[in-house]
Amino acid sequence: MTDVLLSVEGLGVQIGGLTAIADMSFTVPAGEVVSLIGPNGAGKTTAFNVITGYMRPTRGRILFEGRPIAGLAPERIAARGLVRSFQRTSVFAGCTVFENALMALHLRGRAGLLDALLPFLRARREEAALHAEAADLLDLTGLADRAGLPAEALAYGEQRRLGIAMAAAAHPRLLLLDEPAAGLNPSETADCIALIRGLKERGMTVLLVEHDMAMVMRLSDRIVVLNQGRIIASGPPAAIRQDPEVIRAYLGAAHAAA
Amino acid sequence: MNALFAWGFVAALAALPLVFPDPYLLAVLTSAGIFIIGAISLNLLLGYTGQLSLGHVAFFGLGAYASALATLGFDIGIGFGWRVVLAPQPVWLGFLAAIVVAGGFGWLLGRLAFRVRGAYFVIITICFAQVLRMVALNWVELTQGPMALISIPPFSLWWPGQGVVPLYRKDQNYWLVLAVAVLAFLLVRQVVRSRIGRALVALRANEPLARSVGIRVTHYLVIAAVLSAGIAGAAGSLFAHYVRIVDPDVFLFIYTVTMVIMVVTGGKGTLWGPVVGGLVFGLMPDLLRGTAPPEAQWIIYGAAMILFVMFLPRGIVPALARRLP
């Protein structure tokens, strides 16, 4: 068995009187792509928000590399090497694509106030390195020729790709992707799959929330199925596809026929 | 704007007293310059972090009082029969005290107020300035209240061969304000062009996303608040030693509004915005005084402001930048 990178233990989340997540436990082994699937309202995005510090859990533990992270601020969790992408707003509007990449590389730099005032000490070298890294990042995503455009001027699929690249920019050990293919056409989805594969090859572990079943089946090493705040199945794609409860709750007759 | 043009502009401003040694003109430009320094500092908060501080004059006033009190000295009781006594200090120490006191309050306000954003932040900053005004009015033993602190010494500089020279003349004060304005501009420029500035803009553009890539919200907002407050405090110190009288009216809301107008009409979030907006709206009242009847002056001022905001909503500098290649 490989090392466990993320482990969610007995997680429960109440929002007002509503139970968003009843009792959730799963692990993400290092180096794998794990997908979290389930119908709308199953608690997938809530799970993401809690794991990345945007919401507080009501109970349960979240361990990242063996250390508890539940309740830490998002920026602290990001600094530990766990970064997410967002379902919708995923770029810094009003800034160019290149500036977006630079901003996403925040954790790769260390320059503080003294460096801002005396850039010749070391900040100039650091800035040059960050610029080079930002250029690499845009090469990786195929957005190099768009570097000077305002980020919001990008096509929707390109914005999504930039969003993923930005989440991956600072080389997190665990990357959480929230519906990266939502609203993409088939060729954009293919680009997106290629991008995620590329990130996995670079040693990143990925936790994915996605509705596009074809994409989930192609990318995942393991799938966790949620329904109404509970895990109803987990295992490799082949097993999930055959699981009767999963088919009834989520995949439905259409998928069984496909 | 390219560097050559910028330094040419500074050189022209520096040469102005030699060409037009008119004391009235220099007095107008010096007061406008002090407010432009305030606007430059406000721009760091309002323009780059997007947080509207409507109590910005608090830092200006704190700087003015800190500098005046440090150079005049004071002797106050703090209860239990204890007294705090400060002998009059040299002006450069007063200037430093202004920066440190204002910056310290910027840190405190940042720590407390950045837990809330938006409208609540605006309200907290307004209250902050009002409370300070009340303190200045009522702590008579320290501030003389409405009787004002008077006989504040003028700024003095050490000059090679002449020792410490007090700056009594208009042109000397003009050059001093110009020099501090250039330093403030360069300080803000260095910061916004650095990794810190990038973090501030990222937080303004999309806070959840900024946090997700590891940008510490409070840390960077507090850095901006401290720098902004410190620069405003320096402007307050210049004001105190130029006007040489400080009363609680330095905390008036209207001065914050003036700085906000300068930043917004010039172009918030641009380096030159507060300078351009500050020149336009800092000089306009005095230009109108010479040309328009008294009852029309503020109407014209207000109308000009509305027209600028309507037709150049992003400010003069961004509009010019789009026209010029």
**A14-33 pLDDT, tens digit each:** 888 888 888 889 999 999 99
- Residues of chain A under the 70 pLDDT cut: 1-2, 89, 251-258
Tell me the shortest Cα–Cα distance from A197 to chain B, in angstroms. 21
Whether the CB of A94 is below 8 Å from some CB of chain B: the reply is yes
Residue B75 is encoded by which pair of tokens? 């002797």
Q: Do A103 and B213 touch (CB under 8 A)?
A: yes
Which among A86, A106, A126 is the nearest to B208, CB-wise? A86
What was the pLDDT predicted at B227? Answer: 96
Q: Which residues pair with A234 in a beta bridge?
A: A224
Chain A residues with beta carbon closer than 8 angstroms to that of B213 = 78, 83, 103-107, 166-167, 169-170
Give the count of Cβ contacts less than 8 A between chain A and B: 103
| pLDDT value, residue A119 | 82
Q: Which of A203, A242, A251 is nearest to A30 (CA)?
A: A203
Asked if residues B197 and B48 have their Cβ atoms less than 8 Å apart, the reply is yes
Q: How far apart are CA B45 and CA B274, in angstroms?
A: 12
Find the angle CA(B13)-CA(B166)-CA(B279) to the nearest 5 degrees. Answer: 25
Whole-number pLDDT of residue B325: 60
Residue contact A166–B206, C-beta within 8 A: no
Q: Answer yes or no: is B309 within a domain.
A: no
**Ranges of residues in chain B whose predicted pLDDT is under 50:** none
Residues of A within 8 A of B269 (CB-CB) are none
Cα of A72 to nearest chain B Cα, Å: 12
Task: Report CB contact under 8 Å: B210, A103.
Answer: yes
Residues of B in contact with A96 (CB under 8 A): none
Residue B92 distance to chain A (closest CA, Å) = 22
Helices (H) and strands (E) in chain B, counts: 14, 4
Q: Does B187 touch chain A (CB under 8 A)?
A: yes
CA of B200: which chain A residue's CA is closest? Answer: A103
pLDDT at residue A257 in the model: 46
Place of tokens 């207000």: B302
Nearest beta carbon to residue B195 from set A104, A109, A166:
A109
Q: What is the helix, strand, coil percentage profile of chain A, to 5?
A: 45, 25, 30
Strands (E), B239-302: none
Position B156 scores a pLDDT of 85
Give a yes or no: residue B29 inside a domain. Answer: yes
- What residue of A is the nearest CA neighbor of B216? A75
Contact list in B for residue A170 (CB cut-off 8 A) is 213-214
User: Is the CB of B214 less than 8 angstroms away from the CB of A119?
Assistant: no
- Give the nearest chain A residue to B215 (CA atoms): A75
Examine residue B172 and state whether it is found in any structural domain, yes or no: yes
Q: Which residue has the tokens 């466990």?
A: A4
Least CA distance to A165: which residue of chain B? B213
Could you give the 3-state DSSP secondary structure of residue A150?
A: strand
Does A160 reach chain B within 8 Å, measured CB to CB? no
Taking an 8 Å cut-off on Cβ atoms, the answer to whether B195 and A91 are in contact is no
Per-residue pLDDT at A2: 61
The Cα–Cα gap between A127 and A250 comes to: 48
User: Smallest Cβ distance to A95: which of B193, B196, B205?
Assistant: B205
In angstroms, the CA B87 to CA B89 distance is 6
Interface of B with A in 215-244 (CB under 8 A): 215-217, 223
* DSSP states of B197-255: HHHHHHHHH-HHHHHHTT--HHHHHHHHHHHHHHHHHHHHHHHHHHH--B-GGGG-HHH
B210 vs A: CB within 8 A: yes
Any domain includes B288:
no
Question: What per-residue confidence (pLDDT) applies to A233?
Answer: 87
Mutate to test the interface with B, among A49, A92, A96 (most CBs of B within 10 A): A92
The pLDDT, as a whole number, for residue B237 is 96
**Which residues are CB-contacts of B58 (< 8 A; sequence separation ≥ 6)?**
B105, B125, B128, B129, B132, B251
Q: B268 and B291 in contact (C-beta within 8 Å)?
A: no
Nearest CA in chain B to A104: B213
Domains of chain A (ranges, CATH numbers):
4-91+167-257 (3.40.50.300), 96-153 (no CATH)
> Nearest Cβ partner of B214 from A102, A106, A112?
A106
**By CA distance, what is B223's nearest residue in A?**
A113
Residue pair B143/B152 in contact (Cβ under 8 Å)? The answer is no
Does some domain include residue B170? yes
Asked if B213 and A170 come within 8 Å (Cβ–Cβ), the reply is yes
Instruction: Print the domain residue range for B128.
Output: 22-253
The pLDDT value recorded for residue B60 is 96
Q: Do B198 and A103 touch (CB under 8 A)?
A: yes
- Structural tokens at position A240: 């999930």
- Helix, strand, coil shares, percent, chain B, to 5: 75, 5, 20
pLDDT at A232: 87
Q: Do A74 and B190 touch (CB under 8 A)?
A: no
Give me the residues of A, 23-62, that contact B with CB < 8 A: 52, 54
Contact B212 A102 (CB under 8 A): no
Determine how many CB atoms are found less than 10 A away from the CB of residue A85. Answer: 24
Contact at CB, B212 and A84, closer than 8 angstroms: yes
| Contact yes or no for A52 and B195 at CB 8 A | no
A123/B contact by beta carbon, under 8 A: yes
Question: Does residue B128 fall inside a structural domain?
Answer: yes
A119 touches chain B (CB under 8 A): yes
Position B171 scores a pLDDT of 87
Interchain CB distance below 8 Å, A92 and B217: no
A61 token code pair = 């533990």
d(CA B12, CA B294): 32
Structural domains in chain B (count):
1
Residue A258: per-residue pLDDT: 46
Q: Determine which of B185, B212, B231 to mutate to test the interface with A (most A C-beta atoms within 10 Å).
A: B212
